[in-house]
Chains A and B, each alone.
Chain A
Amino acid sequence: MKRTLNDAEIDPILSGKYEILPSSGFVASVMDAVRREATAPPPIPFPWRRALPGLALVVATLVLVAIVGFAAFTQGGGVPAPQVVAGAQSALAQALRAKLVTAALWAGMSLVLAWAIVKLSLRLSTGHA
């Protein structure tokens, strides 16, 4: 029959300060890792000076789009007027009717631009000229 544990028995079970001893090579292993850390080159900081003009341009574009959108919205009296919606539908239809060649050209240019950005970023991050 099981008996109930008392305080004097439960305390050592959960409060024994040192249950295991560190392995003999533990300090050496930690110090190896610390020395590797100390000799590793510092992480590359984010190139804020290079990125700021681009970020500023993106923010300015977004603000401009928001202003134009808001102006178009308020022209309709605070709610999307039927003519605004109709105009948007018409513009969408026009865009969809644009020549396939022009669209492909833009897509191709975007891909080339994306590839160039990736290559440049990799060169900068790996330090190769």
Chain B
Amino acid sequence: MSANDDQAAVERVLGGDVSAFEEIVQRWQGPLINLAYRFCRDRGRAEELAQEAFLRAYRGLKQWRQEASFSTWLFALATNLYRSELRRIPARTVPIEDVPEPADTRISATNFEDRDRDSAVRRAVLALPAKYREALILFYFHEMDVPAAARSLGLPEGTVKARLFRGREILRNKLPQTLSVPYLKEA
């Protein structure tokens, strides 16, 4: 499914064909659930948040101006929702044994030490103040793309870069023995 397919599906939904929205859900369920999971580290809650994001997208389809791509609009909408929901009810810390196995085998931890390390890094990110946590989550979710993270957050790129810098600084202080944070890629 391409951007044109998204647009065609949206037009069909706006024309009254509710079932066309299923194509949109099929395509974007993975990214939206995984983005929510990064915010809360709770599978059940991630799906609830993603479902609410899809519902809001359905209600607000007319507001998509088509100046930006559908995915940009959808991620910005979902990010707004996740941020406000996580501020209302903060994420709880999930025990390591409850963390599901990664779907991507390239990032599988090969032993308990690796899993401890991964878990420690993720917990440290979750424990960051909201504005730094959100910048880091979006930056990594968009594969270290600062402009994409800035669009999702609705912030200027400079602000996102500053928050990434400060967020990493805090992370370094939290995990001084185990974490060496990579330098920010040039946008």
Q: Determine if B15 is an interface residue (Cβ-Cβ < 8 Å).
A: no
Q: Determine if B118 is an interface residue (Cβ-Cβ < 8 Å).
A: yes
Bound Cα distance from A26 to B51, whole angstroms:
8
Taking a contact as CB atoms under 8 Å apart, the answer to whether A34 and B104 are in contact is no
Taking a contact as CB atoms under 8 Å apart, the answer to whether B43 and A16 are in contact is no
Please give the residue numbers on chain B whose beta carbons come within 8 Å of chain A beta carbons, in ascending order.
18-19, 21-22, 25-26, 29-30, 33-34, 37-38, 43, 46-47, 50-51, 54-55, 58-59, 100, 102-104, 106-107, 117-118, 121-122, 125, 136, 140-141, 143-144, 177-183
Q: Which residues in A have their C-beta under 8 angstroms from that of B183?
A: 7
Bound Cα distance from A56 to B123, whole angstroms:
56
Known: A33-B55, A37-B58. A15 touches B143 (CB 8 A): yes
Q: Determine if A27 is an interface residue (Cβ-Cβ < 8 Å).
A: yes
Please give the residue numbers on chain A whose beta carbons come within 8 Å of chain B beta carbons, in ascending order.
2, 4-7, 10-23, 26-27, 29-31, 33-35, 37-38
Taking a contact as CB atoms under 8 Å apart, the answer to whether B178 and A15 are in contact is no
Min CB–CB distance A92 → chain B (angstroms):
46
Contacts A15-B143, A19-B100 aside, 15 further interface pairs with beta carbons under 8 A come to: A2-B178, A5-B121, A5-B179, A13-B117, A13-B121, A16-B107, A18-B34, A19-B37, A19-B103, A29-B47, A30-B25, A31-B19, A31-B22, A37-B59, A38-B18
Which of A4, A20, A23 has the largest count of B CB atoms less than 10 A from its CB?
A20
Min CB–CB distance A16 → chain B (angstroms):
4
Q: Which residues in A have their C-beta under 8 angstroms from that of B25?
A: 26-27, 30-31, 34
Bound Cα distance from A3 to B113, whole angstroms:
12
Q: Which residues in B have their C-beta under 8 angstroms from that of A31?
A: 19, 21-22, 25
Taking a contact as CB atoms under 8 Å apart, the answer to whether A20 and B100 are in contact is yes
Min CB–CB distance B141 → chain A (angstroms):
8
Bound Cα distance from A11 to B136, whole angstroms:
12
Taking a contact as CB atoms under 8 Å apart, the answer to whether A22 and B29 are in contact is yes
Q: Which residues in A have their C-beta under 8 angstroms from that of B179?
A: 4-5, 10
